[in-house]
Amino acid sequence: MIRISNLSLPVDGDLEQLRKRAARALGLRPGQLGELEIVRQSIDARNRSEVHYVYTVEMSMPQEERLVENAPGRNVSRTERQAYAFPAAGRRSALPPVVVGMGPAGLFAALFLARNGFPCVVLERGQDVDQRTRDVDRFWTAGALDEGSNVQFGEGGAGTFSDGKLTTGTHDPRLSAVVEALVVHGAPEDIRYSHKPHIGTDVLVEVVRNIRLELLRLGCDIRFEHRLSGLSIRGGVLTAVTVDAPTGPYTLETDALALAPGHSARDTFRMLFDAGVPMEPKSFAVGVRIEHLQSDISAAQYGSAWKRLPPSDYKLACHLPDGRSAFTFCVCPGGQVVASSSAPGQVVTNGMSLRARDGKNINGGLLVGVGPEDFCSFGSDPLAGVRFQEQWERAAFQLGGGNFLAPAQQVLDFLNKRPSQGPGSILPTYRPGVTWTELDRCLPTAVADTLRDALPLMDRKLRGFSAPEGVLTGVETRSSSPVRILRDETLQSTLRGLYPCGEGAGYAGGIVSAAVDGIRVAEAVARG
């Protein structure tokens, strides 16, 4: 396989132009090339007057060594693809593995176990993705929260109602298996090569549904509205789990539990703590969602070419002299801010966008890292961070005035520590709606002060980021799990047979990394 990297193409370029440039790099005519496969596409906007695409392509050709050796371009090399292979299994137990949670970690753990001869019992406290979508829409429209079926809980996990972003820092060989499975189940082909791949909430719902159908075909027993509520332990080994179901609690024997509870399963964290499962508090982040006009951000990023390019996103970070850091997270071009509460009396925000990303606004998390030193007043146990989250979510609910209205403030008012009276040119997208107020009342002082210091500095990196009429909506507290459920090199807890997994267990930070961790746990369970 020949790889050609750093092929520049104008924003209105096409595949034929790409073939010509690839052929030139090899010293050939376009007709002499084999079938061209795009393996990476990105946008170079460092010079806004000359914004262009950059491609990496691969192809199979006869006499590849000679072609690479004689190629006039320096960006030509040979490469070998390593296909992912599930390792040999040694599990001999007659009991089926149990997977808890149908977010990306749980779904991929179940999928790769079932594909390799180990159909699972899959427990999900929430509803299937279709009923869940209806429940979420009812919540956003009327403030009617279903504590079991919401943005945090249900088939697909918290990432289902997001942008479906697949960016990740992992280079794990399992990554290709994750992408391939997503495409096979309905994700767009461009996630194979896009520098910043995304699926979109509307398409992700279909992908999740299709994965479930494959699990059923492979013999998995999927149980919705079945919540893990207890563990049976004998001699430090897991022997069974207790499950709460619509018909009442029951006991399910198992010796292998892939636990992928999601970052909002606070009752599960408490149950594990009470059962003596080793856990530790983990750093996470607290902040707000920030909204701008998409056209303003795209123009700031791409200059005059912005109308011919996909909606721009951004990634900003700021490290302050006092040691605090602020950063953007889960940016949703053309998207909306969404109500993400999972318990009454608490307001939580997140962002989502559809595949088309065609909304008027762009939003992103604007967050500040917090650690155990910030929530030590909430206890010294592993659940102190959970209680810290809950305090600020309750404060946001009260500040919003009830019915899950969210507190909001214009950027200029926030910088000047004065309450906002209403919106300017940028209208908030949060449903069920916002209450204009002063966000300091629902943020830790250190977080609010850090955000005030960071906004002007981020504006230097992205002109317009601290635009006076930008909208801040609070609070965002669920960017990652506040706990880590400890595991060893076998991916098991000291409670043998328990395999903590994914973002909720503290081992992932997004859809892809959670799915990869799910596959790793599937391998560990299959090894026996």
Pairing of strands 325-332, 98-100: unpaired
> Could you tell me the pLDDT band of residue 169, with boundaries at 50, 70 and 90?
confident
Tokens 């999972």, residue?
342
| Phi, then psi, of 260 in degrees rounded to 5 | -125, 70
Q: Is the pLDDT of residue 118 over 90?
A: yes
Distance CA 412, CA 468 (A): 4
pLDDT, position 73 = 79
Section 404-418 average pLDDT: 98
pLDDT, position 497 = 98
pLDDT, position 165 = 86
CATH of 98-279+485-527, one of 3.50.50.60, 3.40.50.300, 2.60.120.260, 3.40.50.720: 3.50.50.60
pLDDT, tens digit (0-9, with 9 covering 90-100), for 248-279: 999 999 999 999 999 999 999 999 999 999 99
Question: Which residue type does 97 have?
Answer: P
CATH number for region 2-78: 3.30.70.2700
DSSP 505: T
> Could you tell me the pLDDT band of residue 144, with boundaries at 50, 70 and 90?
very high
Q: Is the pLDDT of residue 185 over 80?
A: yes
pLDDT, position 18 = 97
Q: Is the pLDDT of residue 51 over 90?
A: yes
The answer to whether 416 and 374 have CB atoms below 8 angstroms apart is: no
Tokens 């990196």, residue?
461
To 10 degrees, the CA torsion angle through 476, 480, 482, 487? 170
The answer to whether 500 and 493 have CB atoms below 8 angstroms apart is: yes
Among 3-7, 31-35, 56-60, 116-120, the least confident range? 31-35
What does each C-alpha distance from 235 to 27, 238, 269, 496 come to in angstroms? 69, 8, 22, 9
Q: Is the pLDDT of residue 170 over 80?
A: no
Cα 294–chain centre separation = 21
Section 396-403 average pLDDT: 97
pLDDT, position 74 = 85
CA angle in degrees (0–180, nearest 5) for 294-296-301: 95
pLDDT, tens digit (0-9, with 9 covering 90-100), for 364-383: 999 999 999 999 999 999 99
CA atoms within 13 A on the CB side of 450: 26
Q: What percent of the chain has pLDDT over 70?
A: 100
3-state SS class at 281: strand
> Could you tell me the pLDDT band of residue 164, with boundaries at 50, 70 and 90?
confident
pLDDT, position 81 = 85
Q: Which residue ranges make up each domain of the chain?
A: 2-78, 98-279+485-527, 283-476
The answer to whether 508 and 502 have CB atoms below 8 angstroms apart is: yes
Section 184-211 average pLDDT: 96
The answer to whether 166 and 179 have CB atoms below 8 angstroms apart is: yes
Nearest to 102 by CA among 94, 93, 110: 110
Q: Is the pLDDT of residue 290 over 80?
A: yes
Contacts of 498 (CB under 8 A, 6+ apart): 231, 238, 257, 259, 277, 492
> Could you tell me the pLDDT band of residue 523, with boundaries at 50, 70 and 90?
very high
pLDDT, tens digit (0-9, with 9 covering 90-100), for 455-477: 999 999 999 999 999 999 999 99
DSSP 227: E
Distance CA 515, CA 182 (A): 10
CA atoms within 13 A on the CB side of 291: 29
Q: Is the pLDDT of residue 152 over 90?
A: yes
pLDDT, tens digit (0-9, with 9 covering 90-100), for 234-247: 999 999 999 999 99
pLDDT, position 171 = 80
pLDDT, tens digit (0-9, with 9 covering 90-100), for 219-228: 999 999 999 9
Q: What is the mean pLDDT of the chain?
A: 96
| Phi, then psi, of 508 in degrees rounded to 5 | -160, 165
Question: Which residue type does 201 have?
Answer: T
The answer to whether 84 and 177 have CB atoms below 8 angstroms apart is: yes
pLDDT, position 82 = 85
Q: Is the pLDDT of residue 163 over 90?
A: no
Contacts of 352 (CB under 8 A, 6+ apart): 161, 162, 163, 201, 332, 335, 336, 338
Distance CA 508, CA 518 (A): 10
Q: Is the pLDDT of residue 142 over 80?
A: yes
The phi-psi region of residue 321 (left if phi > 0; otherwise alpha if psi is between -120 and 50; otherwise beta) is alpha
Q: Is the pLDDT of residue 168 over 80?
A: no
